[in-house]
Amino acid sequence: MGTPPQLVAELHVDALSSALIPGFPAQLYPQGAATLPDGDLLVGFGMVGARFDGTFRIVDRPRRSLFQEGNYTYAGGVAATPSGTIFYKAGR
């Protein structure tokens, strides 16, 4: 069944790195965030974007194909429309 979610005082981004980009050592820093209509949180870490649910579980990595194609700056900024369309702004 798995371990139930635990309440934490801080969410360390380095703990997410291996889950977001397996086999690719990187220091990730949140560069932008937006909420989606369903309450999920979208965060841009510069190299990759992640969608988190209300318990901060990673539920999606939108446009991960851009990272896989070698675009390592696609998720510098993020925005979401009321209908749920996601926009990324490339970082520098």
Summarised one tens digit per residue, pLDDT across range 36-81 is: 999 999 998 888 889 999 888 889 988 888 878 887 788 888 999 9
**Which residue type is seen at 74?**
Y
**Which residue type is seen at 26?**
A
Taking the domains of the chain in order of start, what are their residue ranges? 38-92
Summarised one tens digit per residue, pLDDT across range 13-31 is: 667 777 787 777 777 888 8
Question: What residues are paired with 42 via a beta bridge?
Answer: 34, 51
**Which residue type is seen at 73?**
T
Alpha helix (H) residue ranges in the chain: 14-20, 64-68
CA distances (Å), origin 13, targets 27, 38, 46, 84: 8, 23, 13, 24
Q: CA-to-CA distance for 21 and 2, rounded, in angstroms?
A: 23
